[in-house]
Amino acid sequence: MRRIYLLPLGILLALATVAVIAYPTIASQFTPKTAASFATGSFATSGKVGNTLVTPDDVEITLMAVQPHGTTMLFHLKAHNEQERQISLWNTDANHGFVLYNRATDTFDRIATAPAQADLVTHPALAHTLDGQANADGWIAVTLPSPSSYTSTLYYYYETVQTTECPKPSTPSSPIDKSKCRPATLYRTVHWDF
């Protein structure tokens, strides 16, 4: 009679063990992508020409080529929107765009524009917005008044961060002089070295 009770109890225990082990594996396959999963995931945030980088907005961006034209640099980019909704790709809002870092002023310069009219035939402009599940293939232009002031890195920012910047203390043990701090704008980015 004891065996009759032990058999169902053993079956229930086996099913519970399988559920505890299998549920996290099965559930992780259906977890939607979120900004948090990208922030802690293994997605690359930097690359070089030819690399595809993924933003937390679920946008895959590939820097295809870089062409210098005097003081203007042309960047060939491809983008794919993994979302179902339209997104701002660049220069339509304060939180999405391409920037270069200016060493002379210690700032990110938002100087990316569409290519000049004369270049549009051979270098069509990259779309500013991208529909859900859509692709874009185009060019942006950056005119550099002083090319040596800029690093050879194209940054794509997907979020603006307002913070403060304070001068470095004269010695490592000196306290920071908070009266000399000033507002600063930084960006969460992915970037390509070229």
- 127-179 pLDDT per residue, tens: 999 999 999 999 999 999 888 899 999 999 998 888 888 888 888 888 888 88
* Range 35-193 has CATH code 3.40.50.300: no
> Can you list the positions of beta strands (E) in the chain?
46-48, 52-54, 59-69, 72-81, 87-88, 97-102, 107-109, 112-113, 129-130, 135-143, 153-165, 182-193
> Can you list the positions of beta strands (E) in 106-181?
107-109, 112-113, 129-130, 135-143, 153-165
pLDDT in tens, 131-142: 999 999 999 999
The verdict on pTM exceeding 0.85 is no
Q: Write b or e for each residue in 2-35: b if 16 or more Cβ atoms lie within 10 A of its Cβ, otherwise e.
A: eeeeeeeeeeeeeeeeeeeeeeeeeeeeeeeeee
Closest to 159 in 3D by CA, of 181, 187, 129, 138: 187
Residue showing tokens 């210690």:
106
Please tell me whether residue 102 adopts helix, strand or coil conformation.
strand
Closest to 153 in 3D by CA, of 87, 26, 63, 82: 63
